[in-house]
Amino acid sequence: MKIQRIEAIPYSIPYSHPLKFASGEVADAEHVLVRIHCDDGLLGEADAPPRPYTYGETQDSITTIIEKVFAPQLIGLDPFDRGKVHEVMGRTVNNQVAKGAVDISLWDLLGKALGTPVHKLLGGYTDSMRVSHMLGFRPAQELLDEALRFGQEYGITTFKLKVGRRPLGLDIEACHVLRNGLGPEVELYLDANRGWSANEAMEVLRRTEGLGLTMLEEPCDAKEAMSRRRLVEKSPIPIVGDESVPTAGDVSRELLSGGSNAICIKTARSGFTEAQQILGLCTGLGVDVTMGNQIDTQVGSLATVSFGAAHEATTRRAGELSNFLDMSDDLLADPITISAGRISVRDIPGVGAGIDEDKLARYRQN
Ligand SMILES: [Mg+2]
């Protein structure tokens, strides 16, 4: 089996409302669908969600790097020879999201070629993940109303609050209102997307003491190395590295320098192959991991579930899997359902992300 053709198809689907966080705002899912065609007719697919604010990749850069740089070097290779593919892509620095989508497309191909679901190839630990839902950047009462609705409608009992606003009191108030309104059993944790300084984060931790928050993600820029290390040492809860750790090398640096003591894994920026390397590092060192969301479509969310459900360590905490609910539509032919707070893997060969060709024709941009 040989790689015959690689497509990087830009498409755009509006969100039902603009999404805001400390590092930016987005109104449309301007993503890239990656398709790797093989000479025997098999097709591997994955979604690439560019995050210009976070990683500097855009829809155009992902399309160009895949079609102009990677494809000419990958065509003719056997998709099973992932080591060779990664050696080729590794010659180009950065471009993690483009590389991640090529990697997931290859796993999808392998699953289809072997007639096996990819979650089984990756590890096959279990068949579903608990869902964590993200809230944030709105008045406290609206956040509480949304959390209560998601609890009722989907059975979700874990919420990540997007914070990082100034003055700090807005987010601190939201923490108190959510805890009081949701009761003690619901899990709450925070993600500041580098919105604060390390000292501001310390103040938030002091003023939310006793609320039972379980984690604080990317409170400040990891480059503030000295004060971030002090925060990690003093914090009673894990400080999670997310956008500071897109690669296994970044994870090593942040863990060894004391810049984080828990790690967010995102398949959209690491693919499955590097995500497994990151997971191995973390489990070897006894460091907690979370499965994060890169504002993924349903196609991307299925990839996260396939990886997360495949390993024991990634199922200990709820995965951030519900961002697709903010989209007005999706490319996935058979929609994902959240039931009793969980999303299940698909027991069909590959990652399970069958594309609705009519929808792709409607939303594609070239
Ligand atoms: Mg994050």
* Active-site annotation holds for 162: yes
DSSP 8-state code for residue 260? -
- Give ranges for CATH 3.20.20.120 in the chain: 120-344
Position 22 scores a pLDDT of: 76
> What DSSP element (H or E) covers 191?
strand 187-191
How far is Cα 187 from Cα 160, in angstroms, rounded to an integer?
A: 8
Distance 205 CA to ligand 1 centre (A): 17
How crowded is residue 61: how many other Cβ atoms within 10 Å of its Cβ? Answer: 18
Q: What are the residue ranges in the chain where pLDDT is below 50? A: none
**What's the CA-to-centroid distance between 41 and ligand 1, angstroms?**
38
294 as an active site residue: the answer is yes
pLDDT for 99: 98
Q: Which of 162, 187, 276, 298 is catalytic?
A: 162
Q: Is 217 a catalytic residue?
A: yes
Q: How far is the CA of 67 from the centre of ligand 1 (A)?
A: 29
Does residue 44 contact residue 107 with C-beta atoms inside 8 Å? yes
Provide CATH 3.30.390.10 ranges for the chain.
Answer: 3-115
Is this structure's pTM higher than 0.95? yes
Annotation marks residue 242 as catalytic: yes
pLDDT given for residue 299 in this prediction: 98
Domain 120-344 has CATH 3.20.20.120: yes
Expressed in angstroms and rounded, the spacing between residue 218 Cα and the centre of ligand 1 is 6
Look at residue 24 in the predicted model and tell me its pLDDT. 76
Protein fold of 3-115? Enolase-like; domain 1 (3.30.390)
Active site residue 87: no
* Active-site annotation holder among 47, 171, 191, 200: 191
Is the alpha carbon torsion for 260, 291, 57, 329 positive or negative? negative
List 57, 217, 243, 320, catalytic entry: 217
Residue type for 262, please?
Answer: A
Task: Give dist(CA 25, CA 13) in Å, integer.
Answer: 15
Q: How many degrees, rounded to 5, is the angle at CA 109 between CA 103 and CA 111?
A: 105
